[in-house]
Amino acid sequence: MIDLATVQAITAKELRDALRNRWFVVFTVAFAGIALALSTMVRPTGTFTHALSYTRTAASLVNLVLLFVPLIGLTLGSANLASDRETGALTYLLSQPVSRVEVLLGKYFGLAGALLATLTLGFGAAGLALALQGVAQETGSYLMTVLLAYLLALAMLSLGFLLSSVAKKTTTALGGALFLWLFLVFIGDLGIMGTSVTMKFPIEGVFFVTAINPLQMFKIASILSIQANLEVLGPAGLYATDQFGALLLPLLLVGLLLWIVLPLLAAATTFSRQEKFTYREARS
């Protein structure tokens, strides 16, 4: 059985440590500043124009989220267990009357709280700036983008913890996180495009391969919530709209939830089995 009080205590500690981390503070300030800047347009003369609509601001923030959120989620998650293992903090923590699953969940929830607080500050600053300037229409698509960003951040954090549960060294975990980030952000798109052209993939094949990527799930769902169609994605987008219709957005939300739950379950299973292996080695 999982002791919720223990998980809560570890969560509170991880949240405090994350908020005190200077690099995390820098990321928070940078994300909030860029999000606030994107909520207005600047003419070449330097004078501000009217604020963008909520919908256009949400569209501008999609690319920002695709670049920064996966990077910070993967690096935070991958460095957590691995760094504590190297410094000996993990050994000390596990010597207490706690289970490995409780430790992993507490650390995950703590970092998740800090990461979601960063996104809330950034999106909230941009939304507040628009509201103060009298732009209060179409808030539904903006809030949907925020929700999708939350799901993407948690999915990347789960993948980071999976890497951290496997890697023995912090450098190995961070290297794997950076490689995965590059693969999902850059190599994924270019690889799919090149493969589809070379091997002449059918449209449905291109779409399904693209939709496996959690970043593409976020992108497609965001575009769908902003403009209600996927014409901007070309034939693959039109195929998805015709094939799934109104079910496409719920399916993408379920897909992002699976990217949160499955890697976290895999990380918990791997981390708990390490305890069994250690116990067997000690007895032998």
Lowest mean pLDDT among 35-49, 57-71, 98-112, 133-147: 35-49
- Average pLDDT in the 190-201 region? 59
More confident residue, 152 or 205: 152
Lowest mean pLDDT among 80-94, 177-191, 200-214, 258-272: 200-214
Q: For 233, which DSSP code?
A: G
- Interval 240-258: pLDDT, tens: 777 777 788 888 899 999 9
- Interval 210-235: pLDDT, tens: 778 899 889 888 888 876 566 655 55
Percent of the chain with pLDDT over 70: 76
Q: Which residues pair with 48 in a beta bridge?
A: 42
Read off the pLDDT band of 126 (50, 70, 90). Answer: confident
Read off the pLDDT band of 109 (50, 70, 90). Answer: very high
Helices (H), 233-247: 235-244
In the predicted model, is pLDDT for residue 90 greater than 80? yes
Q: How far is CA 206 from CA 34, 201, 231, 238, in A?
A: 33, 6, 15, 12
Helical (H) or strand (E) element with 58 = helix 54-87
- Average pLDDT in the 157-177 region? 92
Read off the pLDDT band of 204 (50, 70, 90). Answer: low
In the predicted model, is pLDDT for residue 191 greater than 80? no
Q: Say if residues 152 and 68 touch (Cβ distance below 8 Å).
A: no
Helical (H) or strand (E) element with 5 = helix 4-20
pLDDT score at 197: 56
Show the CA angle centred on residue 147, arms to residues 145 and 152, nearest 5°: 90
Lowest mean pLDDT among 62-71, 155-164, 199-208: 199-208
180-212: burial string, b at 16+ Cβ within 10 Å, e else? bbeebeeebeeebeeebeeeebebeebbebbbe
In the predicted model, is pLDDT for residue 112 greater than 70? yes
Q: Say if residues 53 and 138 touch (Cβ distance below 8 Å).
A: yes
pLDDT score at 178: 93
- Interval 137-159: pLDDT, tens: 567 778 888 999 999 999 999 99
More confident residue, 140 or 263: 263
